[in-house]
């Protein structure tokens, strides 16, 4: 009886993980399809890796963790090497909807060619963001 419960639990975890990965891949394909014509990215002039950062005024995690992590990354890489576009999801609900944002903070790492490399739902620390940005930079190298 105990083994059966363990097998069921492991099976459910595996199914959940596979479903999440499929959703994540579908989401990245969707944002890559909309990014070239999206108004949020139309202000982009030079080809730089970009962090598209969705936040809200009431998001405590955004203020205490995500914004400081992004500022740290900007300090390390320099403002000339990285673009950060911050979007208030409450002020721009259409943009949040287009990008499939359902939680704040959400960050998208976009390479210099406009392709989304990573999506972080929730807090992404500076180390994670740096790794993702380096991946984005290596994609175009």
Q: Which tens digits make up the pLDDT trace of 14-47?
A: 999 999 889 889 888 988 888 888 888 876 566 8
Tell me the C-alpha distance between 109 and 30, whole Å.
Answer: 14
When divided into structural domains, the chain yields a total of 1
Cβ atoms of residues 53 and 87 within 8 Å: yes
What CATH number has the domain bearing residue 77? 3.40.30.10
Q: What is the extent of the structural domain holding 131?
A: 2-140
Q: What is the pLDDT of residue 139?
A: 57
The token pair at 113 is 């060619």
pLDDT tens string 46-99 = 688 999 999 999 999 999 999 999 999 999 998 888 999 999 999 999 999 999
For residues 53 and 107, is the Cβ–Cβ distance under 8 A? Answer: yes
> Which pLDDT score is estimated for 44?
59
How far the first Cα of the chain sits from its last, in Å, is: 55
pLDDT reported for residue 141:
42
pTM listed for this prediction = 0.84
What is the Cα Rg of the chain in Å? 17
């Amino acid at each position: 009886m105990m083994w059966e419960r363990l097998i069921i639990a492991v099976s459910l975890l595996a199914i959940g993980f596979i479903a999440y990965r499929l959703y994540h891949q579908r989401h990245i394909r969707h944002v890559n399809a909309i990014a070239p014509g999206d108004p949020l990215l139309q202000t982009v002039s030079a080809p730089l890796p970009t962090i598209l950062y969705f936040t809200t005024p009431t998001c405590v995690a955004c203020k205490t963790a995500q914004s400081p992590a992004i500022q740290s990354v900007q300090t390390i890489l320099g403002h000339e090497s990285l673009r950060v576009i911050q979007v208030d999801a409450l002020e721009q609900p259409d943009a949040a909807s287009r990008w499939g944002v359902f939680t704040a903070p959400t960050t998208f790492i976009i390479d210099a060619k406009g392709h989304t490399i990573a999506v972080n739902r929730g807090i992404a620390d500076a180390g994670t963001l740096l790794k993702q940005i380096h991946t984005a930079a290596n994609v175009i190298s």
